[in-house]
Amino acid sequence: MGTARQGKPAAGGVALLALTVCLLPVVARAQLRVGFYDTTCPNAEALVRQAVAAAFARDAGIAAGLIRLHFHDCFVRGCDASVLLTVNPGGGQTEREAGANSPSLRGFDVIDAAKAAVERSCPRTVSCADIVAFAARDSISLTGSVSYQVPAGRRDGRVSNATEASANLPPFFFTAKQLTNRFAEKGLSMEEMVVLSGAHTVGRSFCSSFVDRVWDQSVKPPQPKVDAGLSSSYADLLRALCPSDTTPATLITTAMDPGTPNVLDNNYYKLLPRGMGLFFSDNQLRVDPQMAALVSSFAANETLWKEKFVAAMVKMGRIQVQTGTCGEVRLNCSVVNPTSSSIELASSTAPAVDKDGIATS
């Protein structure tokens, strides 16, 4: 074997080292922090807030879409804006084309508008992943009159795969145990799962997500049914809205919370004991004793739920984030940067590097 040569490591070795660092747990890498763009783009959050407010003024339902967009981003590959990509460099369908996201996921145009405004003010500085997190926070503020600070510094990923969306997002037919396990995989507790499920108090759902709870489609012609956990009157209402031959292509929607569909409140928890949980997974929260106790607690105390909700949103926003020199800052949220570009996230905490990528400070 040859003698080890002193000096700078080869470029390939540096690249391998960088990849290894990016695969380390987040605790071993640069952390997110509140005020990340205070010096590099001080108006970033205000610009995102303006874009969200403008969209909300046109359509109050967009807020629920933006909250859900953040959730669906973070549960697949972490909060890296992979859900925004329209092309996967590796080929195949992207996350946003997966059945769990298409055509129900919305808010992409709002993120694009916010990104355009931020790029005009601070080019190549603010990641799409952070914009998604800011937009969700602003949507919660508009619908629930509750504010919280969002730690930032996320980087954007370069991979988006439809099969990973299907494998990681919790579907509407999950049992209590399956829900708990899926959230645990993301570092979230059973209580945090119940807390985050309260987001179903805003927004709408396609009939295909719950049609089998009110129609028995296994027989011809389909016959009315009332699934366990549904009140008969609610089933009648849903049956009147959704035809017996509903399929995923039937683009009919209904409010998940028929009482206050555009208000982030604790009405979701009040509806569950009345047999008005829209999805099978919603009803699981009242079937499991521990979850049912939390449902009762949040139904009785909206302030408590909101406090826990924003805390859970912040924690969710840290799932498998890429930070520091990992990932990139996309110039266009729907496509990765050209490989010839090297877009570094401007940050007062980012280390300076020499031409070989070695940290110099």
Report field, pTM of the whole predicted structure over 0.75: yes
Task: Please indicate if the annotation marks 76 as binding a ligand.
Answer: yes
Give 223's DSSP letter.
Answer: E
Tokens of 72: 């669906």
Q: Coil, strand, or helix at residue 159? A: coil
Domain boundaries, the chain: 43-203+256-317
Q: Coil, strand, or helix at residue 309? A: helix
Pick the closest to residue 299 from 228, 197, 180 (CA basis).
197
Task: Please indicate if the annotation marks 201 as binding a ligand.
Answer: yes
Residue 353 forms beta bridges with which residues?
Answer: 359
Tens place of pLDDT per residue across the chain (361 aa): 433 334 444 444 444 444 445 655 444 344 899 999 999 999 999 999 999 999 999 999 999 999 999 999 999 999 999 999 999 888 899 999 999 999 999 999 999 999 999 999 999 999 999 999 999 999 999 999 999 999 999 999 999 999 999 999 999 999 999 999 999 999 999 999 999 999 999 999 999 999 999 999 999 999 999 999 999 999 999 999 999 998 888 889 999 999 999 999 999 999 999 999 999 999 999 999 999 999 999 999 999 999 999 999 999 999 999 999 999 999 999 999 998 444 444 333 333 333 333 333 3
Cα–Cα distance for residue pair 84/169, rounded to 1 Å: 15
Task: Please indicate if the annotation marks 200 as binding a ligand.
Answer: yes
Task: Please indicate if the annotation marks 214 as binding a ligand.
Answer: no
Tokens of 39: 């010096």
pLDDT at 36: 98
Cα–Cα distance for residue pair 230/272, rounded to 1 Å: 9
Active-site residues: which are they? 72
Three-state SS sequence of 14-70: HHHHHHHHHCCCHHHCCCCECCCCCCCCCCHHHHHHHHHHHHHHHCCCHHHHHHHHH
Task: Please indicate if the annotation marks 70 as binding a ligand.
Answer: no
Rounded alpha-carbon distances, angstroms, from residue 124 to 73, 283, 344, 354: 21, 45, 7, 20
Cα–Cα distance for residue pair 168/174, rounded to 1 Å: 12
Task: Please indicate if the annotation marks 265 as binding a ligand.
Answer: yes
Cα–Cα distance for residue pair 125/47, rounded to 1 Å: 13
Cα–Cα distance for residue pair 248/207, rounded to 1 Å: 8
Q: Tell me, which fold does domain 43-203+256-317 have in CATH?
A: Peroxidase; domain 1 (1.10.520)
Task: Please indicate if the annotation marks 226 as binding a ligand.
Answer: no
Task: Please indicate if the annotation marks 219 as binding a ligand.
Answer: no
Q: Which residues of 280-297 are buried (b: 16+ CB within 10 A; e: fewer)?
A: bbbbbbbebeebbebbeb
Task: Please indicate if the annotation marks 354 as binding a ligand.
Answer: no
